[in-house]
Amino acid sequence: MWILPACAVLCLGVCLPLFLHYKPLRPSLAASFKFLGTLCALIPALVATLRLDPLYWIFVAALALHAAADYLIEFSLEAGAGLFLLGHVCYIIGFLKLYPLTSAHGILLLGFLSFLGYLFYRHRRLIGNHLLPFSVYGAALSIMAAGGIAGGASIYGWKGILTAIGAALFFFSDCLIFRRLLFPERARHDILIMVTYYLAQLLLSASCLLF
């Protein structure tokens, strides 16, 4: 299992600091390190796909799409968000294949949608004509997070724990990004956003190696 700490060190200890260092200096180079960080997180899922179960290819696809999105979003919010949306869809499919649907899925989904709905309504003037794309992305994020948390909680063991925590961290990280988009003049929390994002990807990927 040495692969998990190795990928975590490369992602959080190498790619993340380099991304943050070069972001104000050389945006294209910074975006490349951000892309590589998510590729490091992809490795455990790829190993699981090749050595354990081909089912995990859907998680590899999600991580690959998110890696591409990490690069593009530094230059085009719309293109990057579109790839993130597709990656969320892949995660949703993966969770549906791995975990049975329970009442907790519906409860969590309702809670996430209500929370985002409240935020979107409260800040509707700042969102303006971007309400539709925000709503579509928010719905996909909510379904993914509810599927990961409820699905992970439905089984006992580290696989479920990592899945649930990873999905929760993803939702939290994206909520911070939403705050940053609406209030760019406030504290950006770039480090917190990236740490929680990379941790989410690492945990979801690592869960593929566990039974």
> In a 3-state reduction of DSSP, which class is residue 99?
coil
pLDDT, tens digit, for every residue of 78-92?
Answer: 999 999 999 999 999
Which residues are CB-neighbours of 97 under 8 A, at least 6 positions away?
Answer: 55, 58
Domain that holds residue 106: 3-207
Rounded to 5°, the CA angle 104-82-15 comes to 90
d(C-alpha 36, C-alpha 29), whole Å: 11
In the chain, what percentage of residues exceed pLDDT 70?
A: 99
What is the Cα–Cα distance from 95 to 148, expressed in whole angstroms?
6
Confidence of residue 195 (pLDDT cuts 50, 70, 90): very high
Q: How many CB atoms lie within 10 A of CB 50?
A: 12
Number of independent structural domains in the chain: 1
Question: What distance in Å separates the CA atoms of residue 40 and residue 201, rounded to the nearest whole number?
Answer: 10
User: 119-168 pLDDT, tens per residue?
Assistant: 999 999 999 899 999 999 999 999 999 999 999 999 888 999 999 999 99
7-20 pLDDT per residue, tens: 999 999 999 999 99
pLDDT of residue 185: 76
